[in-house]
Amino acid sequence: MPGKRRILSIAVSAPLLTPAAEAAPTWDCRASASGGWDCYKDGVLVAPEPTVAVQPPPQPAPDAEKLAPKPEVATQPASEVAAQPEPKPKVAAQPVPVPLAAPEQQPEPKQQPTPRTPHQPEVATLQDPAPTSEQPTPGAEFAAIDSGLNWAQCSPGEGFDTLPITTLEGDQTQISADGAEFIRDQDLAIFSGAVEARQGDQILHAQRVEYNNVDDTLHAEQEVLFAQPGLRVGGASADLHLATNSGTLQGVEYRLIDRAARGGADSAEIIDRDRSRYTNISYTTCRPGNSDWLIEAAELELDRASGVGTARNAKVSFKGVPFAYAPYLTFPIDDRRKSGLLTPSIGYSDSNGADISLPYYFNLAPNYDLTLTPRIISERGLMLGGEFRYLLEQHSGELRAELLPSDSASSAHDERGSLSLRANGDPATRWHYDVNLNHVSDDDYFDDLGGSLAVSSTTTLERRADLAYHGNGWHALGRVQNFQTLGTTAESYDRLPQLLFDMNRPDQTLGLTYHLRGEYVSFGKSSGVTGERLDLYPALSLPLRRSWGFLTPKLGVRYTSYDLEDQAPGLEDDPTRTTATLSVDSGLYFERETNWFGDAITQTLEPRLYYLYTPHEDQSALPDFDTAEHGFSFASLFRENRFSGADKVGDANQLTLALTSRNLDRRTGEEFLRASLGQIYYFSDREVQLQSSSGSVDTDDSSAFVAEVAARISRNWRTGAGLQWNPHLDDETEKAAFAVNYNNGEGRLFNFAYRFDDGDYEKTDISASLPLNHQWNLVGRWDYSLMHSATMEAFAGVEYDSCCWSSRLVLRQHRIDANAEPDIGIFLQLELTGLTSLGDRIDQFLEDGILGYTSDPDK
């Protein structure tokens, strides 16, 4: 090959008596200008031996009699070598550690004459000693198709963690083998025994490889394995074109590294770095030896650039039973979106009968998409749902709609449907908008059609649009809002519009903090008093903080005015109110170092005093547009106003005494135990009351005691309790709660909770997840009302996970309220991991119903 200067780096060896520490020599063979080969051993030109041919497998040294001259000597099948008078004994070739880096370029030495035999192909054979020290062979991670792939990790679809492939620069091809043979006239090299060929980030392993230096092609046989980032393909034979990253393989097994998927095929064609095509192929995410679910196709093309697999004449089978066939099928091979069928949903309930949904996804553009969902409800009819989503650089949103043209099961409702819109974005710097619009056709929509696994208890639907501006230490908000009320729920006031301004400016003159809250609202309603309200609340505070405690006095004045319509007779249409509020919040921190069950901890004692004074102001003429009394809790001991909203400002002359103690891990700061106790002492009666209340003045001289405890009993056990105890009542316990939770971090869960609110509810809630082994898991929940002696919700189920597929079966009974008849349903989900899920979203239902449960073990 005169004039050709493509480099072929070769390393070969044979066992000779060499020191163990001696490094393996490196051979660099180049096509010479005269058409032969110039081979350099460690940079030194070596004249080729005239007629020695090396057989690939190791052979015992021949005896002296077999070394006698013969008329002809048989060589490798690719060539014949003329007989030589005294050939040297053949030396057994052995594998040898080979450096991955190409040998440094050496100055081209002076051309030396090369012995040649007339009319015969010229063969160059190289053999060198191997070191006796045992070292890992470079590229050994690809010695077998599953080498280094941890199929036991059981996370299909997430890929394997593998070592990166060493990349060779430029178009250099590097080959190592136990033995090598060069046919100069054909510019052909034949390698045998543990052959490894590299170019760029591609590797080929085989027992025999023929390399053509002219067109840069390889033909490989016996234990062939081709690998590039993200893909491994093994076969009986292979023909590869290195320059174009293409080739064909026969008798194929393949692995998608990034997807933890595998399969086999009669043949494979590597089109380029991203695309490959297969005939009579199978595809699954099950580990080798297990094909519980399988896609089989007459032809399959995988495109890693687009993340899509395309199959023709495909069928999907589970446990050997085909359940889907398609003449043409596309499916994702990574997490990118594409158009196609999504997870079907199949369920059954007493009220709806069979309930089947089959969503179809339209990937309209990278930043917006559409999902249409036909839903067949056997007792009601055919329903159509849709969801449109968009995502821009500064904006996002989704529009959902459902329509049931005619409900066969309801005489009260014919055409039924729902509509919702969620949108938000940042149209300019510091500006933000948020929109939430919702509508349903009737009061019973959620109860009848809200979903087969979850019956919504929603009684009010919000329609709201916000526009906000965030300044430095202040922000402003404009809002329009109204509500659709369902059932017998009382009608709520609309805000058309509401304007809010809030400012907090710390570290001002003398260390003061400036506060200002302003609000304007126009309240609307179909009946009752309506009107406008203006509320202004400026205040000053002086935070004083030290490492051992804090003191924060605060003084504020609140002014509120109204312009009302349909006011009750005898009451003003434009009442006003002005009140002042003084508060002093203070606390101390005490710490000591001690031990708790052998752990070094810091124990704190944190007493806190909070004084609040607001003089009484008659507010009986003011409406209650958006005002209610805060629920009593430990946090409410330190509120400035016992009412929410601006319509009522509670009169107060009171002192809160509270004490908190914590046990903290001295090393990590983690909280082992927290206990808090507090009570308010009143120095005057509370005369301001809501119009909806009895109007009686609260004359008790103290509030209920509020106690809270939270503890980490051990690494897996946690508990918490709360108690509101009122010494002024005959039935002294107003509220109580207790909970204990067990979570071992491996799916074993137990939760128990007791909740009591005098006159409202008393209930227990028990839930659990119990793994029987690494595949089977039991789940269940029981929500029981002690007040009504009725089960509100109960379900029990079983999960099976075989790594590449999982199944969940749940039997559920629930009722909307204590007096309703229970509804019973059976739900099934089959998930083919990395492909699709069939049935109801039981995994999401369990996450909502069992505290700590997750269907994703990596969470």
As a dihedral over the C-alpha atoms of residue 452, residue 454, residue 455, residue 457, rounded to 10 degrees, the angle is -160
pLDDT given at position 155: 64
Residue type, 221: E
pLDDT given at position 837: 75
pLDDT given at position 857: 57
How many alpha carbons fall within 13 Å on the CB side of residue 402? 25
State the residue for tokens 């369920």. 347
Is residue 615 within 8 Å of 558, Cβ to Cβ?
no
The segments of the chain whose pLDDT lies below 70 read 1-143, 155-158, 163-164, 170-171, 343, 451-457, 693-695, 856-859
User: Nearest 5 degrees, angle CA 181-CA 183-CA 185?
Assistant: 170
Is residue 767 within 8 Å of 781, Cβ to Cβ?
yes
Closest CA to 307 of 406, 159, 191: 159
What are the structure tokens assigned to 441, written together?
Answer: 């056709």
pLDDT given at position 637: 95
Residue type, 763: K
Residue type, 660: T
State the residue for tokens 């030109």. 45
pLDDT given at position 46: 54
Instruction: For residue 829, give the 3-state DSSP assignment.
Output: strand
State the residue for tokens 């590797």. 203
Domains detected in the chain: 141-148+156-336 (2.60.450.10), 547-713 (no CATH)
DSSP 102: P
pLDDT given at position 455: 47
Q: Going by DSSP bridges, is the β-strand pair 805-814/823-832 parallel, antiparallel, or unpaired?
A: antiparallel
What φ, ψ does residue 816 adopt, rounded to 5°?
A: -70, -45
Q: How far apart are CA 831 and CA 726, in angstroms?
A: 52
Q: How far apart are CA 780 and CA 766, in angstroms?
A: 8
- Give 540's strand partners: 514, 555
Q: Give this prediction's pTM.
A: 0.68
Which contacts (CB < 8 Å, 24+ apart) does range 788-792 have?
788/818, 788/819, 790/815, 790/818, 791/815, 791/822, 792/763, 792/818
Q: How many CB atoms lie within 10 A of CB 523?
A: 23
